[in-house]
C-alpha cells in the first residue's frame, strides 16, 4: 500500500485528510496483518460515493426480483422469466449483468431442483408442479453492480423440499449474525456450515459468494467452510454476497459439459440457494440487495 502522510488526502477519494478519514482503520488493519491474518486491500473497501452507487443499483435489482415474485407461475417457461427480467431491468434504467458475461447467453440464471446454480433459461423448460427454482438477478446501473437471488416454490411442493428451501433461507440469517467489523469471514463460514449440517444437509464447497459493486465478481471469494478466526478480516466498506448453496444430499457438484455453465448436484439431490449483498459497517452490516 502507498504510504501516506497524516495530512495527505485520503486514498479513498473522499477529499478528506488521511488522519480524518481512513488512517485509524488502516492502522488497525495493519495490526491484524502483522499478526498473520488475511486482510483486504484498499480496492476491496468502498468509499461513500461508491456505496451510494451500489445502493441505487440494488434498488433496481430488488424491484426486478419483486416483479418476478409477482408474476412467476406454474407452467411458465424459464425463457419467460428471462424476458421479464430483461424488460423490467431496462425499463428501470439498468442493464442485466449476466447477459453476455463471459459468454453467458441470458439475462438471469434460473436453477431448478437439482441445478445448483447458473441455470440457463429456455423456451423448452417449464415450471412444473412441485418444482423449486432459484432466480438469480444481477444489475448494472451507472456502472455499479448489484446481485441477489430468491427461491420460489411452484405449485404443490412437498414438505421435504419446502424444508430445504427454508433451511437455505435461514442459513443467510445465520451468516448475517456473524458479519461484524474486525471479525473474520471464517466465522460466518463456520456458523453456516454448522447450522446446515445440523439440519441434515450439506454446503456446496466449489462455489460461493464474492465481492461485488465495481465489478460483477470481485475479491474476496466467500466460502462457507470456516474455521473461525480464519479467512479474510471483515472491515467497514467491504461489500460482498452471502449465498450458500445447500444440497439435500452430498456437497459434490458437476458442470454440464454441453452448456459449460449449468451446475448440478452430482448425486441428483435437490439444491436451494438464497443470496443477499451486504455492506460491512462500523457497527455491523447493512443489507443492500435481497
Helix (H) / strand (E) containing 193: helix 185-198
When the pLDDT of each residue in the chain is averaged and rounded to a whole number, the result is 97
Task: Note the pTM of the prediction, 2 decimals.
Answer: 0.95
| pLDDT for 3 | 83
Q: Is the pLDDT of residue 66 over 90?
A: yes
Residue 71 has pLDDT above 80, yes or no: yes
- Give me the pLDDT at residue 188, please: 98
Provide the pLDDT for residue 20. Answer: 93
Q: Which residues touch 35 (CB under 8 Å, ≥6 apart)?
A: none
Question: What per-residue confidence (pLDDT) applies to 205?
Answer: 95
Domains of the chain: 41-289 (3.90.230.10)
Give the model's confidence band at 94: pLDDT under 50 very low, under 70 low, under 90 confident, else very high. Answer: very high
CA distances from 18 to 28, 146, 180 (A): 14, 29, 24
pLDDT tens digits, residue range 262-286? 999 999 999 999 999 999 999 999 9
- Given this model, what pLDDT does residue 206 score? 95
Judge whether residue 2 has pLDDT over 80: no
pLDDT, position 266: 98
**What mean pLDDT do residues 159-176 have?**
98
- CA pair distance 107, 137, nearest whole angstrom: 8
pLDDT at 1: 62
Cα–Cα distance between 97 and 1 in angstroms, integer?
31
200-224 burial, b for 16+ CB within 10 Å, e for fewer? ebbbbeebbbbbbbbebbbebebbb
Question: Does residue 229 surpass a pLDDT of 80?
Answer: yes
Angle at 17 between CA 13 and CA 21, to 5 degrees: 70
Q: Looking at the predicted structure, is the pLDDT value of residue 4 above 80?
A: yes
49 vs 66: CA distance, rounded Å: 26
Amino acid at each position: 500500500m502507498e504510504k501516506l502522510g497524516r495530512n495527505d488526502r485520503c486514498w479513498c477519494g473522499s477529499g478528506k485528510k488521511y488522519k480524518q478519514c481512513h488512517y485509524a482503520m488502516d492502522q488497525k488493519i495493519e495490526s491484524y496483518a502483522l499478526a498473520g491474518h488475511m486482510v483486504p486491500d484498499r480496492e476491496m473497501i468502498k468509499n461513500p460515493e461508491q456505496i451510494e452507487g451500489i445502493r441505487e443499483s440494488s434498488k433496481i435489482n430488488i424491484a426486478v426480483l419483486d416483479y418476478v415474485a409477482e408474476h412467476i407461475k406454474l407452467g411458465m417457461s424459464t425463457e419467460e422469466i428471462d424476458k421479464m427480467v430483461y424488460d423490467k431491468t431496462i425499463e428501470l434504467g439498468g442493464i442485466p449483468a449476466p447477459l453476455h458475461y463471459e459468454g453467458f447467453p441470458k439475462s438471469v440464471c434460473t436453477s431448478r431442483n437439482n441445478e445448483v446454480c447458473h441455470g440457463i433459461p429456455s423456451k423448452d423448460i417449464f415450471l412444473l408442479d412441485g418444482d423449486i427454482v432459484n432466480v438469480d438477478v444481477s444489475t448494472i446501473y451507472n456502472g455499479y453492480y448489484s446481485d441477489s437471488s430468491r427461491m420460489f416454490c411452484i405449485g404443490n411442493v412437498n414438505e421435504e423440499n419446502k424444508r430445504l428451501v427454508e433451511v437455505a433461507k435461514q442459513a443467510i440469517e445465520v451468516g448475517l449474525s456473524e458479519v461484524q467489523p474486525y471479525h473474520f469471514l471464517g466465522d460466518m463460514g463456520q456458523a453456516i456450515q454448522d447450522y446446515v449440517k445440523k439440519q441434515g444437509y450439506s454446503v456446496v464447497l466449489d462455489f460461493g459468494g464474492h465481492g461485488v459493486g465495481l465489478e460483477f465478481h470481485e475479491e474476496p471469494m466467500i466460502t462457507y467452510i470456516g474455521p473461525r478466526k480464519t479467512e479474510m478480516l471483515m472491515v467497514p466498506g467491504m461489500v460482498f454476497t452471502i449465498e450458500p448453496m445447500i444440497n439435500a444430499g452430498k456437497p459434490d457438484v458437476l458442470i454440464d459439459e454441453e452448456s459449460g455453465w449449468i451446475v448440478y448436484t452430482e448425486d441428483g439431490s435437490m439444491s436451494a440457494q438464497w443470496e443477499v449483498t451486504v455492506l460491512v459497517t462500523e457497527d455491523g452490516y447493512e443489507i443492500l440487495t435481497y
